[in-house]
Structure 1
Amino acid sequence: METSPPRCKRRLPSPEGGPDDSAAAARAAGLDSLPEELLENIVARLPLRDAVRTSAVSGSWSRRWESTPDLRHYWPRRSRPAAICAVLARYSCDVRRFCTWGIRAEAFPHIDEWLPLLAAKGVQCLTLSFWDYTDVNVEYYTLHPAIFACAQLTSLHLERCFLPTAPEGFAGFPNLTTLNLVYVGLPENGEKKLEAMIRMSPSLVSLELNNVEVTDDDFDDWIIQAPNLERLTIISDIDYGWEIRELPSIQEANINSEDYSIDRDFVKLLTCLAQVRQLEFLIPVDSCDDWEPVSTDGNALEGISCSFQKLRNLILHTNFYKASTILSTFGLLTRAPNLKHLEIEITDHENQSDEVDITFFDAMWTNSLFANLDFVSIKSATCWSNEMCFIEFVLSKARVLHEFYIYHDDTGSYSEPREKAINELAKYKRASPKAMVFFRDMEDTWLYP
């Protein structure tokens, strides 16, 4: 005889005040018995959303997050702007870190509430990154002037917005160590206002000006002065007339402008950066087409005399299509006797108007050139004759070289076939018995150094 399986009895939910509630109350009481400092540390380590949710633990926890120091105000993309306002209004401690990315247009009315609240709460690290509106009909947001009332700032990162005009009596950011402006527009006469803001931030250690836009058609020369600055990045499509005064603490610099000012003094510029340990630099290219073969005209670094004794890592954006550009490139290389790491990215693919040979490079040889070089990479290589002569020259002179990476750009018809380049490379003598040459495609740059 078949028998039916016994039915499982459903467990009814505990009535209010039952065993489950008692257990929850016991757990909450156990938490409350911990030292206050430990409880604050627990809440401060939680993501902001979870920290706010601790309000549901018990009655004694309903407002704990509001008075927990060092709570990290990190807001992910698409966070509700009104929620940010509500949390900032309820939070009673100083805001150490506030960061939100991908701010959209619907949040604009609320940001005018954020910044006064953040200023009043002594915000120290502030990141405001707006959505990229380049493809839609939305203007960049102009920040509330309360940004200049954030006197306790130590780090400021702004992205895709406009700076307002600083109010009268603005005393600078005395504690600011890091300033990153990325696709930020400046107000009228903004270059001078930025100069003043940098000058009135005496603790500044790291400065990034990445595609900062001067909206005036006419702009004056302005000076970057920062006695404690160690890292400087200037990336821009347009040279807006900035100048560098003495930077006694500078260690790293990245100068990259696709359209340098016609009166830019590159010898003066690089002399101000002579003590850097790491340098990234776009070698200027003369736009004239009426070059004589192996002409020395147009060498932007002609006359440079300073020595880059501390330089260990060098990234150059350059090419080998004109003799003048090659001479400018070697103007740096021959003055960096302790260089260990060299990266070159080929720019402005165009016709090789000047053709040189290995004797042209041999004429620039010095005993200190490449003396300590152990790593080289060339990206976007076309493997035209001038590039190949440079590669041959380095391999024949670098006595302690370990690795040489060549990333071949085979996406266009202008590059030499890879088989031809590889066969040519096999013929080159190597001064270093440990030198290894790697021939890769450009798509492999993310896999290798």
Structure 2
Amino acid sequence: MATSGSSSSPSSPSSPKRQRVAPPPPRRTDMLMALPPDILDDRILALLPFDKLVRTSCLSRAWRRRWESVRNLEIELPRAYSGGGRALWRCARPVRFFSARVARRDVFRAARWLRALARKGVQDLSLEFSLAGKQRPLPGPALFSCAALVQLDLEQCDMPAAPPGFLGFPNLERLDLVYVTLPFAGAGTQLEHLIVAAEKLAVLNLSPVITINGGGVDTWAIRAPKLRKLYITMEMGDDNGCRIPMPLPMLEEVTMSFDCLFGTQDFLDAFQNISTVNKLFFKSDKFNINMLEGITCKFENLREGGLIIDFGQRSSVLSLVSLLKFAPHIEHLYIRTDHSILDPVSSEDEMDEDSLNSEDEFDEDSLNSQDEIDEDSLNSEISSDLLASLKYVTLINMKYNSNQMCFMKLLLSKARSLQTFDVTFVYSYESNGRYGNACRELTECQKASPQVVLTAKVTTHGM
């Protein structure tokens, strides 16, 4: 009789074996987080674009707020960026640099950015506003709370009114106002006080600052004893009231257009008070006047000087003669022809005297633009001693005008220390043959300097 037992038959299936569970892998070390903070912050995170830096908060829990401790950020918002407000409030102080191109729909958002940036001690601020419609954008009043500013660049906006008690930006070293309007009475005086309060101001760019306040012009002054570079534009009809009534003793470089003040004592005072510069570039839209004729002070330190004019008219050549006379030690002469006025004769084949005198061919204005200089008179005006220090000549956008060619050949024949003579002609299909003739004339003309290197090339008109 079969008996039952507890033992299992050898053929019965065995019970399932317990599977071994693999030990968890060792936690990976975050190699970036393991870096010293100064390397991680200053050499890696601080170099990321701002929007990508903020997104590092999604990497892990450890990274969630890591970006908020990065100091001295340089933030340049992309054009399509629509955020930034909350993130700016979470940045570490200070923010070294902030730049944004502000669309019209984002003007109010920019005002919030300024409030955050003021709290974060922003040092370099650049805001370029997009113009749309007749009303110009206005930066928020928080601009005047950015007391730590070292550089400020505003473009295409109205200058806001400062709050009562505003003391200026004491650390400001550079101020750029480009197409900024002074929309209210006293705005020029406010700008003057801002410049005076910036005792460290070294670079000032007002190109241009425009007044739209009705009535007479309220004058205001540039008083900046430590100013080194000045860029200022006041073209004809655009007198914004700016004056230079006192010397700027540390000034080194000036680019200016003062057409609206020509013929006034303010014009002469401005030149007198910038006479210490070693670089001077003067732009003029007055095409029939020697703008520099009345300048009697000497620019003893001037080594590089230039004119941006309609070079080719008799008056423009005489302006260059005046520049050479008040700058006895000039080494580099720069001339750029303004594209706004085209020379009818320079773009066509040479015409004889009868054609030029024909009233059927040209009106009086065209004739005046073609006034020939007297070569003998010019030769007596420009002596070799006047060009004794001249080493480099750069001429841009020349148009094959006979007056231009006469002046160029005269420089080559009298500048004994000349080392380089670079001329760029405007190219057109009609002037192709004239370019070859001009090069031949310059190559074959008499040269006072045996070491001069003559370079001639062409560029498309408008470049």
Asked whether the two chains share a fold, i.e. TM above 0.5, the reply is yes
Q: Which of 398, 410, 414 is equivalent to 1:397?
A: 414
SS at the partner of 1:425? helix
Contact 1:314 1:341 in 2 (8 A): yes
Please list every run of 5 or more consecutive structure 2 residues that lacks an aligned counterpart in the other structure: 1-22, 344-365
Q: Which of 148, 152, 176 is equivalent to 1:152?
A: 148
Distance in 2 (alpha carbons) for counterparts of 1:434 and 1:92: 59
Between 381-390 and 199-208, the greater mean CA deviation after superposition: 381-390
Distance in 2 (alpha carbons) for counterparts of 1:445 and 1:430: 31
The answer for the alignment partner of 1:117 in structure 2 is: 116
Q: Does 1:163 align with 2:159?
A: yes
How does 1:272-291 map onto structure 2 within 5 Å? 272-283=273-284, 285=286
The answer for the alignment partner of 1:311 in structure 2 is: 302
How does 1:10-409 map onto structure 2 within 5 Å? 25-28=27-30, 30-41=31-42, 42-80=44-82, 83-101=83-101, 103-131=102-130, 133=131, 136-137=132-133, 139-189=135-185, 190-217=187-214, 218-237=216-235, 238-244=238-244, 245-257=246-258, 259-260=260-261, 263=264, 265-283=266-284, 285=286, 299-347=290-338, 348-349=341-342, 351=366, 352-409=369-426
Q: Render the CA deviation track for 1:64-91: whole Å, top value 9, x for unaligned.
A: 11122112222121111xx210211222
Distance in 1 (alpha carbons) for counterparts of 2:24 and 2:277: 70
Q: Render the CA deviation track for 1:303-335: whole Å, top value 9, x for unaligned.
A: 433222222222211345554443332121123
Contact 2:230 2:253 in 1 (8 A): yes
Contact 1:40 1:69 in 2 (8 A): yes
Q: Render the CA deviation track for 1:168-208: whole Å, top value 9, x for unaligned.
A: 11101100001001111122122222122111211110000
Distance in 1 (alpha carbons) for counterparts of 2:336 and 2:32: 58
Give the root-mean-square deviation of aligned CA atoms. Answer: 2.7
Distance in 2 (alpha carbons) for counterparts of 1:392 and 1:158: 44
Q: Render the CA deviation track for 1:198-227: whole Å, top value 9, x for unaligned.
A: 112111100001122111133122211101
CA distance 1:412–1:335, shift in 2 (3 Å): farther
Please list every run of 5 or more consecutive structure 1 residues that lacks an aligned counterpart in the other structure: 1-16, 288-297
Distance in 1 (alpha carbons) for counterparts of 2:96 and 2:271: 37
Q: Render the CA deviation track for 1:31-73: whole Å, top value 9, x for unaligned.
A: 4444333333232233323322332343222101112211222
Distance in 1 (alpha carbons) for counterparts of 2:197 and 2:59: 47
Distance in 2 (alpha carbons) for counterparts of 1:119 and 1:243: 31
The answer for the alignment partner of 2:15 in structure 1 is: none
CA distance 1:428–1:195, shift in 2 (3 Å): same
Q: Report the TM-score when normalising by structure 2.
A: 0.80
The answer for the alignment partner of 1:295 in structure 2 is: none
CA distance 1:55–1:128, shift in 2 (3 Å): same
Question: Would you say how many aligned residue pairs link Structure 1 and Structure 2?
Answer: 409
SS at the partner of 2:39? helix
Q: Render the CA deviation track for 1:116-151: whole Å, top value 9, x for unaligned.
A: 1111221111011122x3xx5363211111111111
**Aligned partner of 1:364: which letter?**
E
Distance in 2 (alpha carbons) for counterparts of 1:382 and 1:353: 13
CA distance 1:178–1:415, shift in 2 (3 Å): farther
CA distance 1:227–1:249, shift in 2 (3 Å): same
**Aligned partner of 1:315: which letter?**
G
**Aligned partner of 1:255: which letter?**
M
Distance in 2 (alpha carbons) for counterparts of 1:130 and 1:283: 28
**Aligned partner of 2:148: which letter?**
Q
Between 431-440 and 409-418, the greater mean CA deviation after superposition: 409-418
Highest Rg: 1 or 2? 2
Shift in Å, 1:299: 4.2
Identity %: 34
Q: Render the CA deviation track for 1:232-266: whole Å, top value 9, x for unaligned.
A: 00124423232112111101100025655553644
